[in-house]
Amino acid sequence: MTQDETTTTPPAEALSAGGAVVREATPADAVGGRVPRYVARPPDTAAAAELLATAHRLGLATVMRGNGTASDWGAPPSRVDLVLETTALRSVEHAAGDLVVQVGAGTPLADLQTRLAAAGQRLTLDPLVAGGTVGGAVATGLSGPRRLLHGPLRDLIIGMTTVRADGVTASSGGRVVKNVAGYDLGKLHTGALGTLGLTTSVTFRLHPLPEALRIVSAEAPDAETAQRWTHAVLGSGAVPAAVELDSHQAGPLTLSVLLEGAEGGIGARAQAVAELMDGAAVAEGPPARWSTLPGNPDDTLLKISTPLGQVARAAHLVHEAARQQNTTAAVSGSAGAGVLFAALPTAAGAAAVDAVARGLRTALDGGVTVARTAPALADAELDRWGDVPGLELMRAVKQRFDPDRLLAPGRFAGGI
């Protein structure tokens, strides 16, 4: 992409006019290897809106950044002039009696959870990747193990305020748990990797912290057994909060069932689940690697969504495909919700990653995306998204919200 005249000399004063703190970027600010010109940190929504309006006028390609722990998700943007840092958009308004909280997008999730826990409540996402912000979690749209019972992240969002590419601030949803007034635009921004706008604040529904929890774990000798156990547990009426699968190498798979609820009944519930899985053990805390991504931070990461009946087989197929490409894989995720992550080591080249992803797409119903690549593959020829049904509608939405393609251009599906 060529840069036109206006983008070669963006006046820093113009960017800071609305109150944002602006500085020259350094190589440490690079996004997908592209070093921006400026980093701007607006103090509030109004300043963020003015900043984006200015960037829009100047034709600056803008990428949002929370704490940057997931800035390698999605394809590298084709162009980055400005990094908009959200970390000053911090606020927490907790309506404890209503089990609702409104949070500034730059608020660290960990801080939020600490505040909520003091009132016996939680935002039902799972253990944090250290340092992540609320806005970053929403933009990556990732949900941890407890999504099985409480729903994915998007189901916990009841209202959202965003700033469009042209600097217009718009809200949807509200601050009550039940509300069907207007389109639920928060759904669009969840998982959009900042390509449709800047999220400045999010309102969530909360849940009470459970009195007690138990984890029932067992090792299944093969995929068929793991699948059978999963089906039995889900069909048992035990109402697990999570059913996680861990297959960090080919061979046996570990299934861990999380139960939450009243102290009085938790022992009996755990016992009932244990009886459905041979050799099960009951623990009072989560096992190692609970709610973490498989592999290492620099690994290439695939996200695999399948119908529930294919989950364990999907894990098995990943190992098979990896072996055929002379590499290895680690797989884990929610067997209960049908969403797995597979890590392929940094050494796996683009051809191997592509072959594994394509093979899985053919063998499974659902979606397989390359969510994150090893740094060396950032610019590799890779089909990251596979077939994306509805892509034309997605392009039409992007065209309406960001017609000049200024927000993280190229980061999303189909080159959006």
Ligand X SMILES: Cc1cc2nc3c(=O)[nH]c(=O)nc-3n(C[C@H](O)[C@H](O)[C@H](O)COP(=O)(O)OP(=O)(O)OC[C@H]3O[C@@H](n4cnc5c(N)ncnc54)[C@H](O)[C@@H]3O)c2cc1C
Per DSSP bridges, beta strands 62-65 and 82-85 are parallel
Residue with tokens 């059913």: 243
For residue 181, the partner it binds in ligand X, other proteins, none, with Cβ less than 5 to 8 A by kind, is other proteins
How far from the centroid of its chain's Cα atoms is residue 180's Cα? 25
Count interface residues toward ligand X (CB under 6 A). Answer: 35
Comparison of 229 and 341: residue with beta carbon closer to ligand X: 341
Residue with tokens 């399948």: 306
Site string for ligand X, 396-415 (x = CB under 6 A): ------------x-------
24-53: contacts with other proteins (CB under 8 A) = none
Site string for other proteins, 339-368 (x = CB under 8 A): x-------------------------xxx-
Q: How far is the CB of 169 from ligand X (least distance, A)?
A: 13
Say how far apart CA 227 and CA 369 lie, in whole Å. Answer: 23
180-209: contacts with other proteins (CB under 8 A) = 180-185, 187-188, 190-192, 196, 207-209
- Please work out, in degrees rounded to the nearest 5, the angle formed at the alpha carbon of residue 406 by the alpha carbons of 173 and 413: 70
Phi and psi at residue 212, in whole multiples of 5°?
A: -145, 155
Per DSSP bridges, beta strands 38-41 and 82-85 are parallel
Q: Are 179 and 269 in contact (CB under 8 A)?
A: no
Interface with ligand X includes 338 (CB under 6 A)? no
From 12, 46, 231, 350, residue interacting with other proteins (rule: CB under 8 A): 231
Say how far apart CA 262 and CA 414 lie, in whole Å. Answer: 47
Comparison of 98 and 284: residue with beta carbon closer to other proteins: 98
For residue 262, the partner it binds in ligand X, other proteins, none, with Cβ less than 5 to 8 A by kind, is other proteins
How far from the centroid of its chain's Cα atoms is residue 412's Cα? 13
Q: Which range, of 66-74, 168-176, 203-211, 304-312, touches ligand X by CB under 6 A?
A: 66-74
Interface with other proteins includes 118 (CB under 8 A)? no
285-314: contacts with ligand X (CB under 6 A) = 293
For residue 71, the partner it binds in ligand X, other proteins, none, with Cβ less than 5 to 8 A by kind, is ligand X
Interface with ligand X includes 198 (CB under 6 A)? yes
Say how far apart CA 247 and CA 229 lie, in whole Å. Answer: 15
For residue 132, the partner it binds in other proteins, ligand X, none, with Cβ less than 5 to 8 A by kind, is ligand X
Sign of CA dihedral 64, 159, 196, 166: negative
Strand partners, 15: none
Q: Which range, of 12-20, 62-70, 222-230, 380-388, touches ligand X by CB under 6 A?
A: 62-70
SS3 assignment, position 108: strand
Task: Return the closest-CA partner of residue 240 out of 277, 292, 295, 203.
Answer: 277
How large is the angle between the packed helices 350-363 and 311-324, nearest 10 degrees?
Answer: 140
94-133: contacts with ligand X (CB under 6 A) = 105, 109, 125-126, 128-129, 131-133
Footprint on this chain of ligand X (rule: CB under 6 A):
63-71, 73-74, 86, 105, 109, 125-126, 128-129, 131-133, 135-137, 139-140, 142, 144, 193-194, 198-199, 293, 341, 408
